[in-house]
Amino acid sequence: MDTSEGPVYLGRDTIEKALTTEAAIGALESVLNSGFDPEQDAPRTRVDTSSGQLLQMPSTLGEYVGSKLLTITPANAGAGRPVIQGLYSLFGGGDQRPLAILDGMALTNLRTAAVSGLGARRLAAPGPKRLVVFGTGAQAWEHIRAFTGLFDLTAVEIVGRTAAHAERLAARVRGLGLEVRVGDAGAVARADIILCCTAAAEPLFDGSLVPDSAAVVAMGSHTPGHRELDDALLGRGTVCVESRASALREAGEVIHGLESGAIHGPDSLVTLADLVLGRTVPDARRPAVFKTTGMPWEDLAVATAVFEAAAADQA
């Protein structure tokens, strides 16, 4: 791919064709296996704007450097425009020249589902899975679509605040050939995997109902004051995070759980690197919880893999 005259643009279609969720998971595992320590990753920064926020997520891996810029504009929801918009800038090649600009939302969708999939795969018990999904938006759809390829799903149950939205997503999921129904929060008692893909500020369900054998992935919130999971679940479960440092900055569940005593200190948190490198094996007698807020290194790992795959396709 010729970048001598400036960066190339990689849009949604190119990103989706270049890399599967499985390949994105492989890119994340490769970085962790290389010895990279997520605890050293740069923090996400936020700037308040006149109509929302600007988020910046920089990182560096090997010869590659990159940063994602996202705007969050709550008023866009009422105007039919995306609340979150953005792009990713990739630099590299040794001289740190600009290589590519990637569609920020397409990259985020791919990366987020891959991180959730990696965590769930490392935490979930083997065998067929009944999936319960909280949320009816884009991330809920992207996660269901990704998990269809990662697990043997026997059924999917969708829980949403608005019945019409839940039914709409259910109809879309049926197109994947899955058995789907719309349910309520009590569905967690029947779940093997629970996905939380919402912007909820308060817990979505009673954590005491979650089976000991279940894996729970909460990815919807990334601010200290928001949480999708309650202390009852955190107190029962093995809690895994992407890094302790990022969780203590951004993960509302972890921050609240430490303050309440449900989580017994930061050292009790298992990291994604612990799982991938085999330093920790989940306790099958307890629910497994993966709280993810997203980290800059993950975006860079997946952006790099997309760029290299697209370049190879054009060679």
pLDDT digits (tens, 9 = 90+) for 165-209: 999 999 999 999 999 999 999 999 999 999 999 989 999 999 999
Contact assessment for residue 53 and residue 71, using Cβ atoms and an 8 Å cutoff: yes
Chain centroid offset of residue 66 CA: 19
Does 226 share its domain with 303? no
170 shares a domain with 188: yes
Range of the domain at 67: 8-108+297-313
Q: Looking at residue 214, what is its pLDDT?
A: 97
Residue 118: inside a domain: no
Assess whether 245 and 263 both reside in one domain.
Answer: yes
Residues 67 and 134 in one domain: no
What pLDDT does residue 315 have?
A: 66
**Cβ atoms of residues 197 and 175 within 8 Å:** no
Question: Can you list the residues of the chain whose pLDDT is less than 70?
Answer: 1-4, 315
- Which tokens is 94 given? 């040794």
Q: How many domains, the chain?
A: 2
Single-letter residue type at 229 = L
Burial label for 7, CB within 10 Å (0-12, 13-18, 19+), is middle
Closest CA to 147 of 116, 181, 191, 192: 116
What pLDDT does residue 222 have?
Answer: 79
Q: How many CB atoms lie within 10 A of CB 91?
A: 17
Q: What residues contact 282, with CB distance under 8 A and at least 6 apart?
A: 122, 123, 238, 240, 270, 275, 288
Q: Residue 90 is part of a domain; what is its CATH number?
A: 3.30.1780.10
Residue 115 lies in a domain: no
Whole-angstrom distance, CA of residue 114 vs CA of residue 108: 10
In sequence order, what DSSP letters do the residues of 32-71 get, joined into one string?
HHTT--GGGSPPPEEEE-SSSEEEEEEEEETTEEEEEEEE
Angstrom distances, CA of residue 280 to CA of 187, 217, 238, 271: 29, 18, 11, 9
Whole-model pTM? 0.94
Residue 177 has a pLDDT of: 93
Answer yes or no: are the C-beta atoms of 201 and 249 closer than 8 Å.
no
Whether residue 187 is found in the same domain as residue 59: no
How wide is the angle at C-alpha 32 spanned by C-alphas 228 and 218, nearest 5°? 5
